[in-house]
């Protein structure tokens, strides 16, 4: 079964970027600390990242995040999806208009201009095809940014919420849950490592 998994790193005070994020400063000031775990040598961190990348049949992201990862200081061979783990899922971008050009042409990009629910539908179909091709169940991963994940949660599109809780207080930035609708969650796992606490919740409908 294809699940919709929201997977995002967050600070102790609930921010998914530091202050002043932008294409040249994707995670904002101090925001790099949120993703220390993704580049850690801790075997538990590596295992969580490897599993998340392996289960990704398709990935949904918002336009602001796309502009960061496809920008001149964005993803490369070391910092691409999965931070070095093998994984080349289809990427589905929610946007009001497609970009004029794409730097990362070796990745499979689809641009959806009709809203997040349609983007999730497209990603679900891509993940189902990938599941059929690989012979194992693959999921749709919502990797962000924060507004995209929050909107998906509030729209009832998410089955599983994965938070990588970084031991940092940013004080400001992009909040994950600002103005969010209430949700009832069931905790499925907690994995503490040297760089983060990894939390997995099922979302009750």
Side by side, the strands of the sheet bearing 56-62 are 108-112, 90-94, 56-62, 139-144, 4-10, 160-165, 197-203, 185-192
Number of structural domains (the chain) is 1
pLDDT digits (tens, 9 = 90+) for 163-190: 999 999 999 999 998 877 788 999 999 9
Beta pairing class for 174-175 and 15-17: antiparallel
Provide the 3-class DSSP secondary structure of residue 190: strand
pLDDT exceeds cutoff 60 at 198: yes
Best CA proximity match to 58, nearest among 114, 111, 132, 108: 108
Residue 116 per-residue DSSP state: H
CA atoms within 13 A on the CB side of 143: 26
Q: Which domain holds residue 189?
A: 4-203
Mean pLDDT of 44-50: 93
Contact indicator for 34, 166 with CB cutoff of 8 Å: yes
Sign (positive/negative) of CA torsion 36, 27, 185, 153? Answer: negative
137-173, pLDDT tens digit by residue?
Answer: 999 999 988 999 999 999 999 999 999 999 999 999 9
Reply yes or no: is the peptide bond before residue 145 cis, omega within 30 of 0: yes
H and E: helices and strands count for the chain = 4, 10
Looking at residue 82, its pLDDT comes to 58
Provide the pLDDT confidence category of residue 205 given band limits of 50, 70 and 90: low
Q: How large is the average pLDDT for residues 30-38? A: 93
Domain of 171, CATH number, reads 3.40.430.10
pLDDT tens digits for 5-32? 999 999 999 999 999 887 777 788 899 9
Q: What CA–CA distances, in Å, run from 184 to 16, 139, 146, 204?
A: 21, 22, 19, 6
- With 80 as the cut, is the pLDDT of residue 201 above it? yes
Q: What is the pTM of this model?
A: 0.91
Q: What is the mean pLDDT of the chain?
A: 91
């Amino acid at each position: 079964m294809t699940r919709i998994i929201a997977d995002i790193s967050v600070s102790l005070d609930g921010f998914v970027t530091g202050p002043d994020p932008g294409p040249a400063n994707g995670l904002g000031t101090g925001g790099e600390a949120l993703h220390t775990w993704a580049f850690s040598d801790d075997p538990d961190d590596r295992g969580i990242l490897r599993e998340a990348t392996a289960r990704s049949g398709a990935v949904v992201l918002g336009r602001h995040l796309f502009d960061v990862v496809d920008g001149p200081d964005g993803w490369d061979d070391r910092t691409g999806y999965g931070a070095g783990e093998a994984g080349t899922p289809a990427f589905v971008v929610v946007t009001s208009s497609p970009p004029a050009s794409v730097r990362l042409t070796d990745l499979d990009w689809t641009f959806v201009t009709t809203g997040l629910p349609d983007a999730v539908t497209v990603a679900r179909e891509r993940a189902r095809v990938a599941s059929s091709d690989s012979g194992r169940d693959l999921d749709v991963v919502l990797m962000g940014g924060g507004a995209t994940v929050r909107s998906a949660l509030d729209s009832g599109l998410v089955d599983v919420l994965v938070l990588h809780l970084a031991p940092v207080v940013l004080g400001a930035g992009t909040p994950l849950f600002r103005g969010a609708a209430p949700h009832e969650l069931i905790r499925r796992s907690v994995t503490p490592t040297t760089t983060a606490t990894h939390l997995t919740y099922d979302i009750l409908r």
